[in-house]
Amino acid sequence: MLMTVAEAFKNFRSNLEPTKSEADDAANRQQKIRSQVETDIGVTNSFLTGSYARSTAVRPLKDVDIMVVLAESERTYTDEAPSRILDEIASILEPHYPGRVTSQDRSVMVEFGVQIVDDTSDKVVSVDVVPAFSDGAHYTIPDVRTGQWMATNPKVHQEIATACNNELSGHWVPMVKMIKKANSHAGDSAGSKPVKPSFLLEVMAHKLLVGPWTGTLPLELRAFFASAADLIDQPWPDPAGLGPNVSDRLHASPSELVAAKAWLRDTVATCDLALRQDRNGQTGAALDAWQGLFGPLFTKTKPS
């Protein structure tokens, strides 16, 4: 039996939450990698960061981020090119995960050979290790793209996300998950997410999803996508006020910015269609439209 649109969104909200199996796998993976890094280089602290730590990650868990705060005895790395410390971390992890370790712009990615066949995978695809040094109230991390060490503070990002969620009576995090899921589902079809990085959508949501909560999920999501389409070409600073604009990478590619804006406008059109169909009593068609936007985690029928 078909759900109502309201029932489907309630179920979708639940489906976006990591399962116990995913959470257990994430815990085991990241704890093991932290231990492996600490064995071969001086580390004072390490902690989860990124969307998983902020509770805004979506299923399937394609990556879990770890910040590894290096000891002061390793500080000489900051006198070298940022790639040097990333190569060192990669060399530590490569023997444990042969052929599955890759240095990236700001992190080292470890892949686990997980094949994603649909959105219901219960395994973590990869872990990203971000080496850092503590600098007073913030952290400094390598950035190969700029050739510099950059300041950041993921703990501030986490605090802002918590405050936004509280202001919106617990609806902010689920909405951000839905927004990011639409972006990742579009990326699954096109080979690349329209909005990159996905953290940009979350940063925009700091300003565009504000309380008190008065609407319904479909209407609120439509309003976000419409505002985002109008404002994505504006600069969106690091919420911690430290690093470069979160929008810098997208804005550096005019063609990708045009594509991102076009996707956001197309998404608004999909929302309008689904809302109109639901108002006209075409529940099945509306559910089809929403599922087309969000993917298979947006289910349409009640369990038998």
Q: Nearest CA to 143 among 85, 218, 71? A: 85
Residues 204 and 113 in one domain: no
Last residue of a domain, one of 152, 175, 194: 152
Angle at 220 between CA 281 and CA 7, to 5 degrees: 45
Residue at 299 is within a domain: no
Cα–Cα distance for residue pair 43/39, rounded to 1 Å: 9
pLDDT band at 191 (very low <50, low <70, confident <90, very high): confident
Last residue of a domain, one of 102, 118, 152: 152
Cα–Cα distance for residue pair 127/22, rounded to 1 Å: 13
pTM summary value: 0.90
Collapse the DSSP code of 210 into the 3-class scheme (helix H, G, I; strand E, B; otherwise coil) and give the result: coil
What does the pLDDT read at residue 117?
A: 41
What does the pLDDT read at residue 179?
A: 98
Note the maximum CA span of the chain: 67
Q: Which residues contact 133 (CB under 8 A, 6 or more apart)?
A: 69, 70, 72, 74, 75, 78, 139, 140
Residue at 303 is within a domain: no
The structural domain count of the chain equals 2
Query: Domain span at residue 111?
Result: 20-152
Average confidence (pLDDT) over 226-252: 95
pLDDT band at 19 (very low <50, low <70, confident <90, very high): confident
Q: Is the pLDDT at 304 greater than 80, yes or no?
A: no
Last residue of a domain, one of 86, 120, 152: 152
Residues 274 and 162 in one domain: yes
Residues 54 and 75 in one domain: yes
57-115 pLDDT, tens digit per residue, is: 887 777 889 999 999 999 999 999 999 999 999 999 999 999 999 999 999 999 876 55
pLDDT band at 122 (very low <50, low <70, confident <90, very high): low
Strands 43-49, 64-70: pairing kind: antiparallel
pLDDT band at 121 (very low <50, low <70, confident <90, very high): low
